[in-house]
Amino acid sequence: MQYKLSPSILSADFYKLGEDIRQTEENGAEYLHFDVMDGVFVPSISFGMPVLASIKPLVKQVMDTHLMITEPIRYVEAFAKAGADILTIHYEACEDVRATLEKIRECGMKTGLSISPDTPVEVLREFLGEVDMFLIMTVHPGFGGQKLIPETLDKVRELRGMLNERGLETDIQVDGGIYASNIKDALDAGANVIVAGSAVFKGNPGENTKELMEIIKNYE
């Protein structure tokens, strides 16, 4: 199983965004996480296609795009055009989850499916083997800098168990409240793609990325 770090630019200083992103790439972060919020599915509003499109040509990182928006099927083509490599949607935000996932595949992107902390992991069972990555939110979606909800790691364990039963090595991503102090807990639970926002961009992004990557590499 491959372990990845996906720094979330939601916590970045946009005044020096380009330089900070370069530091994460130079220090081993293969993914870059975009939290897209619409003010409807979640209370906050963040950023959209123009930010993604402006960054895409400048880095080699995987554009790991997380849509926290209602009926994301409306914007799948636009995010594909902007340069998204992985497009993750929320189970709770789609009238037809399968149709949305199929649209993502048709547009040439990898598929991701996320659940919020209040949603039982069992709803993902019918999608085993159909998506490239599951995202277990370890905080309530909508705001950066929150504290990890410990019970959400039980969902990661349960999901990894479900995948193991089927002989699947599907990626499990966790997002929310991950720091150097608890990243190993997420890895132990079965996650292999780690989103980190404040832990990367508050302070020195290069040094912070290096520290997190060392933990991940030592875990492997």
What residues act catalytically?
Answer: 35, 175
Dihedral pair phi/psi, residue 190, rounded to 5°:
125, 0
Q: Cα 66–220–148 angle (5° rounding)?
A: 45
Residues 6+ apart with CB under 8 A from 110: 85, 86, 87, 104, 132, 133
Rg over alpha carbons for the chain, rounded to the nearest Å, is 16
